[in-house]
Structure 1
Amino acid sequence: MTPSGLRERKKEATREALRHAAITLSRERGPQAVTVEDICAQAGVSPRTFFNYFESKDEAILAIDVSAPVVLRLILDRPAEEDPLAAVRNVFAQRYAEIATSATFRERTLLIREHPELVPRLTHTNRAFEEAMVEGIAIRTGLSPDDVYVRTTAAAAFAASRAALTCWQPDSGPSLVTLLHQAMDVVERGLTPPRPE
């Protein structure tokens, strides 16, 4: 293993330890009762180290565990023949397949359901993620990031993703990836409701 590869793995392990501590403590005590110092003590790192990874406690608890630059790269790396919505769908499906089995992600999902007051903060925390989607769609289409098509497509894909997460039951029912595809199908049908069987 190269030294740079080892460093990256150690950084990712530290980031995951901080996220896990922030989420599990928040479920145990309630988000308002947990401090950055508590999280650091649980993860065995200093507050200075914490702020090398996260800007705030909210980010540690709520941020989707993939950075905006990675999201942008994944969207741009999709095959050129995919339309923008399909490219974003496939990026979401790939990420959800990877993270849905993570205990930390499952705990995060349950925490947000137990504390709905976190939802507005979740929207704020994930703004960079949504903007990366906007940039990726803009580059793939050659349109401005402020173009109505670009903004609408990104917003619709993000809404479908949120719907899948809302409907997902970590311990039963359809998988998160299945629900994502169902939600994206609704968007692609132009929000036409399914016909009764």
Structure 2
Amino acid sequence: METRPTGLREQKKQATREALRTAALRLALERGPDNVRVDDIAEAAGVSPRTYNNYFSSREQAIVAAITGEREARVAAAVAERPADVGLAEAVIEAVVDQYTDPGEPGRDALLLITARPALRDEFVDAAASIEHPLGDAIAQRLGDTDRNTARVLAASVAAAVRLALGQWLQTTVASSTPSGLVLPSGSLPDLLRTMLAPLAPALDAAERQAGRTAS
């Protein structure tokens, strides 16, 4: 019985976060992000600006959060759900590629919004860092918790590789804008992700082999 209030509080916090990020994206699409204030987002979500600041540090962060959703949790869950006979490197790389190239996310209008605004592009790329801690836990679980420091280093490396891939992809996209100024998605994000993550495969494989020897 004592754990129920904590669960309810967490649900309320999650609902507030969802309301804020949904309002942020909706207003940005309707008005343009430069015409959206933090106070506007808070009012649309039915909370105070002070409450807003408990969840997001800027309007760009809230807008990007609406676009990326709970991607960090989904990447970690996808790694954890891969069958045991799938190697760690394959599990991590495919989980990242799957979750970052979901056809339904972020959506064409939202993607155009990101690519057209440098501040949103930067926030979108920086958001890749959020996968580090959940992914580290998922890797540690697959390694049998034999060396959590190894898992943390591997997860940080994966997050850095994802950040590089997103940055390069968005640069290519902006460079391919039409003469009228319209910015269109360009290049293959799955290919870029796999290219950036490929150098990490030997380290992931080695950690898995070491964990197997330690367990035996």
TM tier, smaller: 0.5 to 0.7
Give the alignment's TM-score, normalised by structure 2: 0.56
For 1:53 and 1:118, locate their aligned partners in 2 and report how far apart those are by CA, in whole Å: 20
In 1, the alpha carbon distance for the partners of 2:157 and 2:33 equals 33
Distance 2:52 2:190 in 1: 36
TM-score, L = length of structure 1: 0.60
Contact 1:143 1:150 in 2 (8 A): no
Residue 65 of structure 1 deviates from its aligned partner by 0.5
Tell me: CA distance 1:120–1:159, structure 2 relative to 1, closer, same or farther (3 Å).
same
Offset at residue 39 of structure 1 (A): 2.4
Q: CA deviation at 1:78?
A: 1.5
CA distance in 2, matches of 1:171, 1:123: 17
Answering whether residue 182 of structure 2 is matched by residue 182 of structure 1, we say no
CA distance in 2, matches of 1:157, 1:125: 10
Deviation beyond 6 Å, 4+ runs, structure 1: 168-174
Deviation of the 1:76 alpha carbon: 1.6
Q: 1:140 to 1:161 in 2, by over 3 A?
A: farther
Shift of 1:79: 1.8
User: Per-residue displacement from partner, 1:153-197 (whole Å, max 9, x unpaired)?
Assistant: 4432453355456657997777xxxx3432244246659xxxxxx
Aligned position for 2:6? none
AA aligned to 1:159 is: L
Query: Match for 2:161: what amino acid?
Result: A
Question: Is 1:79 equivalent to 2:83 in the alignment?
Answer: yes
Within 5 A, what are the aligned runs for 1:21-40? 21-40=23-42
**Unaligned ranges ≥5, structure 1:** 1-7, 192-197
Report how far residue 61 of structure 1 moved: 0.7
Residue identity matched to 1:55: F
Q: 2:62 is matched with which residue?
A: 60
1:101 and 2:104 correspond: yes
Offset of residue 138 of structure 1: 3.9
1:117 and 2:122 aligned: no
1:135-154 alignment, distance < 5 Å: 135-141=137-143, 142-145=146-149, 148-154=153-159
Q: Do the aligned partners of 1:138 and 1:144 also contact (CA within 8 Å) in 2?
A: yes
Residue type matched to 1:181 in 2?
P
Identity value in percent: 26
For the residue of structure 1 that corresponds to 2:86, the secondary structure is: coil
